[in-house]
Structure 1
Amino acid sequence: MAAHRGSLGDDALWTVAEVAGHMRVSNMTVYRLIKSGQLPAIRVGKNFRIRARDLAAYLDAGSTQVTGSQG
């Protein structure tokens, strides 16, 4: 299953379940991200596929860098 995915920077297509597993969220959360337009997806029949590069871009856009110290 994981062999076809390659790295996040390529054009591999991931299923909703694979994206959810990678992000450690539910499938429903991924569907919500797709529906809201936050995560681009390709419709294949009744299913969605997410490009690895689109997932990487989404994750990069949402990442924050913690600097300094508390207290």
Structure 2
Amino acid sequence: MEKLLLSPEEAAEVLGVARSTIYDLIRMRTLASLKIGRRRLVPAAACQELVDRMRLEADSA
């Protein structure tokens, strides 16, 4: 079964960016995340949504 939630490190690896970029995107509310206990997790679907949104913005520019 594929993971539904990714750690910031895993999300960074999936998106090919630095971990600090993931935290910046979360802080700017550009990338959805949730907190479970003390952990900040990124839904795998949110990574795909971010890419899709950025692709649409690039196409419309």
TM-score w.r.t. the length of structure 1 is 0.69
| Alignment match of 2:36 (pick from 34, 44, 51) | 44
| Alignment match of 1:24 (pick from 16, 20, 27) | 16
CA RMSD of aligned residues (A): 1.5
Pair member with larger Rg: 1
Q: Percent identity?
A: 21
Aligned to 2:50: 58
Q: Deviations over 1:36-59 (max 9, x none)?
A: 000010012332111111111111
Matches of 2:38 and 2:19, distance apart in 1: 15
1:34 paired to 2:26: yes
CA contact (8 A) 2:15 2:47 kept: no
The one-letter amino acid paired with 2:35 is R
Structure 1: give runs of 5+ residues left out of the alignment. Answer: 6-11, 66-71
More helix by share: 2
